[in-house]
A and B are shown apart, each in its own frame.
Chain A
Amino acid sequence: MDDEKIKKVVLEIIKSIVPKNMKKTVTLEMELRDELNLDSIKLISLVTILEEKANFDSMLASSEVDFTEIMSGNDLVKVVLEYQK
């Protein structure tokens, strides 16, 4: 999966879990916690959903990446690119 496709998929997934009134304004630059108000449950669920939708090796990534340091959608895109199956 190429960079552009991954960006698109990550953005769609984030949009799917934010409140309805934010869906139109979400960008990959936004802070997942401070701006989009994603809680721990939603952030953890993101990792698993990415496996299914973005060819992401979430098992390997979860054992090597510190997800508390993922701040924005763009940070997430970098990790997904690095851990393609």
Chain B
Amino acid sequence: MLIDIHTHLGYSKVYSDYFINGIIESIENPLKEQMGAAFNKAIVSNIIRGSLNDKDGSKLIKQMDDAGIDKCVLLMTDFGYEDTNMEFSVSEILEVHNQVRIKYPDRVIPFFGIDCRRDVSYVDLFEKSIRDYHFAGLKIYPPCGFDLTDKRLFPYYEICQSYGIPVLSHTGDSLVTMHNDYDYIGQVKDLTKMFKNLQFILAHITFERFEENIRLASELENVYFDLAAFQLDWGKENLTYKVKKIFELIPDKILFGTDWPIYSMLGQQKRWVDYFRNNVEISEENKKKLFYLNAQNVLKI
């Protein structure tokens, strides 16, 4: 069994233009260094956008098949609150993700995504996604413009608690234009006191504040981390060190995640699975925890 706890739909219309453009701009300088005068932003934009063509999730499923991934958590995101040009509404984005679940009911576990600055009616939409569409968690992205402790999130947290489903939050910085000064460590500590039965999956353990992330997961029973974005350390000694520390200190709190399709230009899903599957530094028992036992515990499946 293998569960990827962190994937997104590789379909450009469910994302805001400003977010996709921000990703393109974030690689502009290294590309200019590599290409010099040959750099052409329009071509780069086409390459990135051209890969985001997976409306029905079939490309994701093929990748999962090739890599031996049985199930994935498909994280819906809401980047459209400040983007009046976005083609799809939250309801339509929800529907697109639900169609993927309907097409692949045994493979895809969707989480609802929301920007809590929207009005309270979206709380009902969240509950509908759980009740009617079998969504199994909440995805939040604080860099959109809110803190994890924003009171407008509390009704969502209460629903998660009552249904026994987790919250998965981004951690660390995002695009330079976004809200990056949220202290997720302090905020999660506060929230676990307020919502004692709520389980948190914090994304990107290796990305920022690594040592503090380890401590947080060690100290707080209801806090897990996923590995998504470990690809940023690909090929560096740093990754070997971090992986060693994770399995020494928090083998019961780590979840396998790839952040598909963010790193798809760098490698297929099989590459990421094989790195951990063939890693002789990780015991077979810990690989089981990483690949499915810990995820089954959080997702209650």
Question: B50, A44: Cβ atoms under 8 Å?
Answer: no
Main secondary structure of the interface of A (DSSP, over half): helix
Complex Cα distance, B38 from A60, in Å, reads 16
CB-defined contacts of B301 to chain A, threshold 8 Å: none
Whether, in the assembled complex, A21 has its beta carbon less than 8 Å from a beta carbon of chain B, the answer is no
Which of B28-36, B133-141, B143-151, B193-201 is near enough to bind chain A? B28-36
Whether, in the assembled complex, B261 has its beta carbon less than 8 Å from a beta carbon of chain A, the answer is yes
Whether, in the assembled complex, B155 has its beta carbon less than 8 Å from a beta carbon of chain A, the answer is no
Across the two chains, which residue of chain B brings its CB closest to A62? B46
- How many A-B contacts are there with CB distance less than 8 Å? 68
Which of B13-21, B205-213, B262-270, B280-288 is near enough to bind chain A? B262-270
Question: B35, A68: Cβ atoms under 8 Å?
Answer: no
Question: B267, A48: Cβ atoms under 8 Å?
Answer: no
Complex Cα distance, B35 from A49, in Å, reads 8
Question: B266, A65: Cβ atoms under 8 Å?
Answer: no
Question: B31, A45: Cβ atoms under 8 Å?
Answer: yes
Across the two chains, which residue of chain B brings its CB closest to A49? B38
Question: A63, B50: Cβ atoms under 8 Å?
Answer: yes
Q: Shortest CB–CB separation between residue B236 and chain A, in angstroms?
A: 12
Question: B265, A43: Cβ atoms under 8 Å?
Answer: yes
Chain A 57-84 interface mask (CB, 8 Å, partner B; 1/0)? 0110011111110000000000000000
Question: A44, B47: Cβ atoms under 8 Å?
Answer: yes
Q: Shortest CB–CB separation between residue B51 and chain A, in angstroms?
A: 5
3-37 of chain A: CB within 8 A of chain B: 17, 33-34, 37
Residue among B42, B265, B268 making CB contact with A44, cutoff 8 Å: B265
CB-defined contacts of A40 to chain B, threshold 8 Å: 27, 263, 265-266
Question: B31, A41: Cβ atoms under 8 Å?
Answer: yes
CB-defined contacts of A43 to chain B, threshold 8 Å: 265
Across the two chains, which residue of chain B brings its CB closest to A34? B271
CB-defined contacts of B39 to chain A, threshold 8 Å: 48
Across the two chains, which residue of chain A brings its CB closest to B42? A59
Known: A33-B271, A48-B39. A68 touches B46 (CB 8 A): no
CB-defined contacts of B268 to chain A, threshold 8 Å: 33, 68
CB-defined contacts of B43 to chain A, threshold 8 Å: 47-48, 51, 58-59, 62
Known: A37-B235, A41-B27, A68-B261. A62 touches B267 (CB 8 A): no
Question: A42, B266: Cβ atoms under 8 Å?
Answer: no
Which A residues lie at the B interface, using CB under 8 A? 17, 33-34, 37, 39-45, 47-49, 51-52, 58-59, 62-68
Which B residues lie at the A interface, using CB under 8 A? 27, 30-31, 34-35, 38-40, 42-44, 46-47, 50-51, 53, 234-235, 261, 263-268, 271
13 residue pairs of the A-B complex, CB under 8 angstroms, read A33-B268, A34-B267, A44-B27, A45-B31, A47-B47, A48-B38, A51-B38, A52-B38, A62-B44, A64-B50, A66-B53, A68-B261, A68-B268
Extra A-B contacts (20), CB below 8 Å, given A37-B235, A64-B50? A17-B34, A39-B234, A41-B31, A44-B31, A44-B44, A47-B47, A48-B35, A48-B38, A48-B39, A48-B40, A49-B35, A51-B43, A52-B38, A59-B42, A63-B50, A66-B51, A67-B51, A67-B265, A68-B51, A68-B264
